[in-house]
Structure 1
Amino acid sequence: MNDLQMQVRPIRSDAEYHRALEELRGIFDQPKGSLAFDRAEVLEILIEDYENKHFHIEAPDPIEAIKYSMEEIGMNQTELGQIIGDKAKASLVLNRKRKLSVSMIRRLHEHLKIPLEILIKEYRLANE
C-alpha cells in the first residue's frame, strides 16, 4: 500500500494535527481526480474538524464583520449606504450610534454574504 492509500484516522493530538498539516502542504495542489487530490480533501476535513474542536474562534460582532467585508471587497461608506438605506444610516451603524434593523440585516446578508448568526448578535452602541 502506498502512502496515499494509508488508513484514514481521526486526528487526536497536536502532533497528529501538525503531521496532517505538513502532509497537506505537500499534496494540496495535486490534479483533481488523483489519489493525492482525494487524500488532500480527506486531510482538509480531518484538520478542519480538529481545529473546530480545539481552536474555537469567537465570531466577530456584527459591526466588525461589516467593516471586514467592506474592506475585503473595497466597499466605501456610500456604497454601504446604498445597501442599508443611505450614507447617513451607514455612518451611524459603522460608528455604533444606531443598531442594525431587521431589513438592514437581511440586505447585508444578501449583498455581503455575512452569516445571519453574526449579524443578529448583540453588540454595544458607542454610548452604552
Structure 2
Amino acid sequence: MKETTEEKLKVLNRVGKLDQDSFDFVSDVDMYMESNFQSEDNEMLLIHLSVAINRMVNRENVDEMPDELWNQIISKPEYKVADTVWNELKPLAPVQFSEKETQYIILHILNILRRQ
C-alpha cells in the first residue's frame, strides 16, 4: 500500500470513520490486488471501500449509478473478472454492501484491471 494511502486510512481510523476490522479488510483488499494483479495504486478503491463501509454502518445511501454508465461497465471485457474479484473479497467484508455500493466497488476494481 502506498504510504500516502495508508496515512489517509489511518486518519479515518483515528477519527472513528474506519474501525480496526474495516481497516484490516481494506488492507487485505489492497494486498489481494497487489498480489493478483500487481496493482500498487489502489487508493480510489480503498478509500471508496472505507467510505462505503461507513455509509453501510450509518445506514446511509450512495447515489444511484446511472443505467447508461452501468451498461457501459458490464459491457467491458474486464467486467467478469472484476465481478469475480469482488465475489471473492466481499465475504471478508465487515459489512454487507448494498447493490448500489457494489456497482461502484466493481467500477473501481474494473478501473484497476483496465490499467494493467
Fold-level match, TM-score > 0.5?
Answer: no
Question: Which protein is bigger by CA-based radius of gyration?
Answer: 1
Tell me the TM-score normalized by structure 2: 0.28
Tell me the TM-score normalized by structure 1: 0.27
Greater relative contact order (Cα < 8 A, sep 6+):
2
